[in-house]
Amino acid sequence: MASDVVALYGATNGDGAAAALQKHKSATFSVKVGLAQMLRGGVIMDVVTPEQARVAEEAGACAVMALERVPADIRAQGGVARMSDPGLIRDIKRAVTIPVMAKARIGHFVEAQILEAIGVDYVDESEVLTLADDSHHINKHNFRRGGAGTGNVVEAVRHVRSVMGDLRALRNMDDDEVFSYAKRIAAPYDLVMQTKQLGRLPVVQFAAGGVATPADAALMMQLGCDSVFVGSGVFKSGDPARRARAIVQAVTHYNDPKILAEVSSGLGEAMVGINLSDPKVERFAARSD
C-alpha cells in the first residue's frame, strides 16, 4: 500500500515551475515523511537571531524556524511579510546543530527554490506570511522539504479536533464508503485507505499557533499531535530560556500532571496572546476553507 501511495506522488506536471526545478533531485514522498519523523515528540521554536537559535537549542528544541522579523509585527506596521533574508538564515544555520526551517509565501515557488538552495532542512509554505498567490499553492513534490502550520491556540485546538474526528469516522467506514469518501474530498483512494489502515495521518501532525505555556503544549500533544511549534513570542516573555525549557519538558511529559505543574511554576510573565474576537484581527485559518 505504501509503495502505491509513493508512486502517486512521484510525478511532475511538466509546467514552467517544474521545468525550472529539473536540476534539483526531488526526494520521494517516503523520504520527506521520514525527515519529518525526526521531529516527532519535539518542539520547534521560531527565532529571529542566531542568539535566540542557540537559546532554543540549549532548551532542548528539536528544530528552529528562522525568521527575519515576527510576521505579526510586520503586518501590524502595514508591511508585507516575505521570506527571510538568506544571509540571516545562513547565520542561524551556522549557530546551531539542530535542523533549521524557513518560511516561503503561499504560492511563491521561487522563494522555496531559494530556501532549498541555501540548505534549509524544511520549507514551510506559510499562511502567516503575506500571500503571493491567492489561488495556487507550491507543488511540494518538486522539493526535498515541506511543512505546514495553523493559527492561534483555539484555532489549533479546533483544527486538531476536526482532524481527529474525521479520522475516527474514516476508521469506521467499509471499503465502498472509503472509495466514496475519497472521491468526495478529491483525495487519492490509496492514500485515504492507507490513512484508514494506520488509524492516523500518514505524516507527522504538527500543532502551531498560540502555544504560550507548558499546559498549551501538553494539551496539543494529548489531543493527538506529534510535535509542537512555538512562536518567537516566547522571546518576549519574562524569562525566555526558562519558558522554552519548560515547554520542551511539557511535550516530553505531556501525560504527567505533576511534572507539568512543576515546570509551569515560576515562569514569569507569559508572551502576549491574540484575542480572536477582535474584529481587527486577520484570521488566516479562513484561507484553507
| Residue spans of the chain under pLDDT 70 | 1-33, 71-72, 75-76, 143-152, 271-289
232 is in an annotated binding site: yes
Q: Which of 145, 49, 147 is nearest to 96 (CA)?
A: 49
Q: Quick one: CA torsion of 254, 260, 266, 272, rounded to 10 degrees? A: 40
107 is in an annotated binding site: no
233 is in an annotated binding site: no
265 is in an annotated binding site: no
Q: Which CATH number fits domain 29-151+206-264: 1.10.260.40, 3.90.1150.10, 3.20.20.70, 3.30.750.24?
A: 3.20.20.70
Q: Which of 164, 178, 279 is nearest to 222 (CA)?
A: 164
C-alpha cell at 277: 474576537
238 is in an annotated binding site: no
Tell me, yes or no, if 103 is annotated catalytic. yes
The catalytic position among 32, 93, 103, 140 is 103
pLDDT for position 18: 43
In the chain, where are the structural domains located? 29-151+206-264
**Considering the entire predicted model, what is its pTM?**
0.73
Residue with cell 541555501: 118
Q: How far is CA 213 from the centre of its chain?
A: 18
Render pLDDT for 217-241 as a digit per residue (tens, 0 to 9).
Answer: 999 999 999 999 888 778 888 889 9
